[in-house]
Structure 1
């Protein structure tokens, strides 16, 4: 790929990562609200669970955009993948996001393990987001003039 500048790509990546962090924060707050309502035996608002699912789907889309940008940008700049740990951190985050989505769909009163699994995956996802942010910052510094 012989493009004059990948700056436009990094802008999309920066916005996607920022929005991914925002979506993750909103998911944590709305998930915590659902947990609190359930623990205090209060009914949750009817819109809360669908809202949580929609924000989760948005996060999944944003992560796929970031994956595509990373692959396109790295192949375009270097001609191959695997130049830093950022690739592996990013792939782990993609896996965790979709594993989290799968575990969310398993949550039912007859499956108490699914909620615990969902929370554990999301704790690992937080660590993954931190890792991908730190390693991504180092990668972006290589591309900037």
Structure 2
């Protein structure tokens, strides 16, 4: 496997973390629309925070699934096996939680408060776990770079 392919997954995942944070911002702005006065609401509605948040959620779901599969595929191609450890298991938990939060979309569109609360809680968990994933991934990338500099790797 070409050495540069080792970095597609980490770069994609850091981009995904940025998308998740931006989506959280859009979701927060969408929730504020329900709490402001009529004049402020009138100014905020054309910005379509809720619609943009929903569309970005679909992109996040797709990139999460592709990124997880790509990371496992790259690991398998490099090592001939998956490395069972916290990074893999937390990554799989993130995939499950992102899928679970996406499954709430129909209830969210119907304005169900229970779904909104669960959506926020699940996505808060996703951000915590995914933040840890980003940091543990940096350590993995550092190992790859160190291994590439040793004479045995050349």
Does TM-score exceed 0.5, indicating one fold?
yes
Q: Which has the larger radius of gyration?
A: 2
Higher helix share: 2
Counting only pairs closer than 5 Å after superposition, residues 45-60 of structure 1 correspond to structure 2 as 45=45, 47-60=48-61
Matched, 1:73 2:70: no
Q: What is aligned with 1:127?
A: 128
Counting only pairs closer than 5 Å after superposition, residues 1-145 of structure 1 correspond to structure 2 as 3=1, 5-10=2-7, 12-41=8-37, 42=41, 45=45, 47-107=48-108, 108-109=110-111, 111-144=112-145, 145=148
Following superposition, the deviation at residue 104 of structure 1 comes to: 3.2
Following superposition, the deviation at residue 134 of structure 1 comes to: 1.7
- Gaps of at least 5 residues in structure 2 are 149-154
Q: What is aligned with 2:152?
A: none
Does the CA-based 8 Å contact 2:17-2:131 persist in structure 1? no
**CA distance, structure 2, for counterparts of residue 75 and residue 103 of structure 1:** 33
Does the CA-based 8 Å contact 1:103-1:114 persist in structure 2? yes
**CA distance, structure 2, for counterparts of residue 25 and residue 13 of structure 1:** 18
Q: Specify the SS of the correspondent of 1:40.
A: coil
Following superposition, the deviation at residue 83 of structure 1 comes to: 3.5
What is the TM-score with the length of structure 1 in the denominator?
A: 0.85
Does the CA-based 8 Å contact 1:86-1:135 persist in structure 2? yes
The alignment's C-alpha RMSD in Å is 1.8
Q: Specify the SS of the correspondent of 2:83.
A: coil
Following superposition, the deviation at residue 70 of structure 1 comes to: 1.2
**CA distance, structure 1, for counterparts of residue 69 and residue 82 of structure 2:** 12
- How many residues are aligned here? 140
